[in-house]
Structure 1
Amino acid sequence: MGRVHLETLERLGTVEAHTVSARSQADYRRVLEDPAIGAVHICTPNTLHFPMARAALEAGKHVLCEKPLATSSEDARQLVALAAAKGLRNCTCHNLRYYPMVQHMRRMREDGDLGEVLVVQGTYSQDWLLYDTDWNWRIDSRDNGPSRVLADIGSHWCDMVEHVTGHPITALCADLQTFHPTRRRPKRSLETFAGKTLAAEDSIETTVDTEDFASVVFHLGARARGAFTASQVSAGCKNRLSLEIYGTRSAVAWNQERPDELWIGNRNTYNQLVIKDPSLLKPGARSYAELPGGHSEGYYDTFKQTFRRFYQSIEQPGSTPEYPQFADGLRQLIILEAELASHRQHGWAEVGSEL
């Protein structure tokens, strides 16, 4: 993930990447002592997010942190308060909301094209941890925190739903499953999504304490209902984030594996398949599409849109942030903790609204 951030900053062209701490410093606190550094990106294993972000804020640095913001809502709430007290810009990298067609969906809802939102459903499915020989640091709660699938990818889905619909998830019922109670942990490190498998002699059987799959039924806003699944063991699904929103006037459906396409469903006329073209997007969504029609914009572009807005807000101190802040990261941890509580209790859980 650090490489993605670095390459995106280079593409942005307005920010100088000064220090990549994992390569040039053994202690991140040394980096924070450098007065030439105005902002830091935190792209480490999840359990380091809170102490690093807290130290950066205390050092007077603006902070952009990968999600999850922390491994508990209590820690995330401390970061929200500290950033506010210091008057520093802060961002949780829920970048996937910045695909052009996702922004177009949001503007359709704001303009009333969908009518009242009734039903929301979808999935975030991957297959890179399908086998018990697949391993990554995210599997171990000591590095990742108490949840894997819901914290890693389910949080992206929930953030997108609340961002697009404008409604909060208010209550939910979650079921989690670990299909591989043990996995073969490698004696050497493996890259994420590397697709490499291990021979038996190269690994150690290790107990797994994070989930492979989750299904969640939820209430959205005052009246809407929804359901989604999150999986890292779904064969053939490389990175399938799909979102369907059904309203009283029309419906929309979007799939991250085909990001330039948006399906629009109608009751009394033909359905539509809209292909991304800035001239066809809602005015409020056009700034998220920088390439002309027929030229795809993808994963890296969502980071660029997030980073651009973050650094513009630093240059314009009085401006209103137009990107996911630490409060948004806290929000997703509140939802996550409700999901984990629901699973433990085998029943419904309320989702708190206080940030």
Structure 2
Amino acid sequence: MSRVSPQAAAAVGAAVIGTGFISGLHIDALRRIGVPLRGVLTRDAPAARESGLYPHVYADIDELCADPSVDVVHVTSPNNLHAEQVHQVLSAGKHVICEKPLALDASSGEAMLDAARAAGVIHAICFNVRFNPVLHHARSMIAAGDIGVPRLVSGSYLQDWLLLETDWNWRVDPEASGRLRAVADIGSHWLDLASFLTGTRVAEVFADLHTFLPTRRRPVGSVETFTAHTVASVEREDFTVTTEDAAGILLRFQNGARGALTVSQVSPGRKNSCRIEVAGSTSGLAWDSEEPERLWVGHRGALNEVLLRDPSIMSTDAVRVSHYPGGHPEGFAESFLGLVEAVYAAVVDGDHRDDGSYPTFADGVEGLRLEDAVLASHDNGRWAPVQRSTS
């Protein structure tokens, strides 16, 4: 169910920076709610123009920012470009949806948050996994005390797309992605979910990062994410890898709960498996992204349950982000749709309240603070507190 009327959506214009895998999901969400795509900005402008897929391809970010028909900009470029591009977009007075991580470190993210607040615009970070409806229902259950006090949060985010030494993506290069790779790319979603579900923040982390493939065979030319590049005809060169293939992270939460997370981009057969379980003092909840419509509810002394997504029996928050009746599956693409709907509803209404209906730059900064703590813990071999300003 759309939260933006077709008439209101048609009056708002959007531009997208990037034309890769993730940008396609943003563009699809815009199409589904009826927001016109004014154009895209990409490093391969000639190919984008030749494709005929986009109404306009901007020559540079200055042209994009000067376009009066653009109200909202979606930033889906490599991590190292986020801060500079977002600051330019904010200076033009446009609303922003930025892919995660917001920046390469917390101090840069805090500056982006300050700039967004000063500009008086809507700002959002793309923690789309939140928008699986059963997760909103789980959050409502935990807030209502249905599982007692959350005690243990455990799980993993596992993929296999960087399993082989010939697998390559810009995220492997720290100049483009930052010092963290697997944790920043996918672990960030799990860490966001842990606080989103339980309503409590992480206080300290103990992290172990590991690179199983210290050398990768990088294609000399550009490559696309999630495509095969193992054919002999691809010219390659050795690349020394310093970003992590996998990580194990122990967590201490502010409410006294404990947690454990495993992150990997080298787990054979795991395409995109985000699993999270919250064990409370009376019951437990568990969710797996590869079965996104199921919420497991565990009990002692009673039969365990499986809730199947059905708006007719779910919480108000879950109904708000559901799009189809029960029995009509929705998944990865709809999680982007739910986030985009919520942000554009705020744009249309002029509602700048940070009421939790969508993740803002503040949530992006929280993720960066966690990532900084992960790096500090790994570098020092001890527990590291999550550094937060007192203001």
TM range (shorter): over 0.9
Per the normalisation by structure 1, the TM-score is: 0.97
Counterpart residue number, 1:348: 383
Residue 79 (1) aligns with residue 99 (2): no
Counterpart residue number, 1:103: 136
Counterpart residue number, 2:147: 114
Counterpart residue number, 1:48: 81
Residue 315 (1) aligns with residue 381 (2): no
Displacement of 1:193: 1.4
Displacement of 1:221: 2.1
Cα distance in 2 for partners of 1:144, 1:59 equals 26
Displacement of 1:197: 1.6
Aligned partners of 2:163 and 2:267 also within 8 Å: yes
Q: Give SS of 1:175's match.
A: strand
Aligned partners of 2:202 and 2:251 also within 8 Å: yes
Match of residue 6, structure 1, among 5, 9, 27 = 27
Aligned partners of 1:41 and 1:64 also within 8 Å: yes
Q: Give SS of 2:258's match.
A: strand
For structure 1, which segment, 187-196 or 258-267, has the greater mean C-alpha deviation from structure 2 after superposition? 187-196
Between the aligned residues of both structures, percent identity stands at: 40
Match of residue 179, structure 1, among 199, 212, 220 = 212
Displacement of 1:351: 0.8
Cα distance in 2 for partners of 1:284, 1:75 equals 32
Match of residue 284, structure 1, among 299, 310, 317 = 317
Cα distance in 2 for partners of 1:26, 1:341 equals 40
Cα distance in 1 for partners of 2:313, 2:39 equals 41
Root-mean-square deviation (Å): 1.2
Cα distance in 2 for partners of 1:275, 1:341 equals 40
1:126-166 per-position Cα deviation (integer Å, ceiling 9, x unaligned) = 00000101000110011111110010001000001100100
- Output the amino acid matched with 1:223: G
Q: Give SS of 1:192's match.
A: coil
Aligned partners of 1:186 and 1:198 also within 8 Å: no
Cα distance in 2 for partners of 1:195, 1:201 equals 11
Gaps of 5+ in 1: none
How many residues are matched? 354
Alignment of 1:235-250 (within 5 A): 235-250=268-283
Aligned partners of 2:158 and 2:272 also within 8 Å: yes
1:144-203 per-position Cα deviation (integer Å, ceiling 9, x unaligned) = 111100100010000011001001000010000000111000122222111332428621
Aligned partners of 2:294 and 2:309 also within 8 Å: yes
1:58-109 per-position Cα deviation (integer Å, ceiling 9, x unaligned) = 1111111000111111111111111111111100111110101111110010
Aligned partners of 1:253 and 1:262 also within 8 Å: yes
Counterpart residue number, 1:205: 238
Gaps of 5+ in 2: 1-21, 46-56
Counterpart residue number, 1:34: 67
Counterpart residue number, 1:192: 225
Aligned partners of 2:309 and 2:326 also within 8 Å: yes
Cα distance in 2 for partners of 1:320, 1:61 equals 17
Per the normalisation by structure 2, the TM-score is: 0.88
- Output the amino acid matched with 1:19: G
- Output the amino acid matched with 1:4: L
Residue 66 (1) aligns with residue 99 (2): yes
Aligned partners of 2:183 and 2:247 also within 8 Å: yes
- Output the amino acid matched with 2:219: P
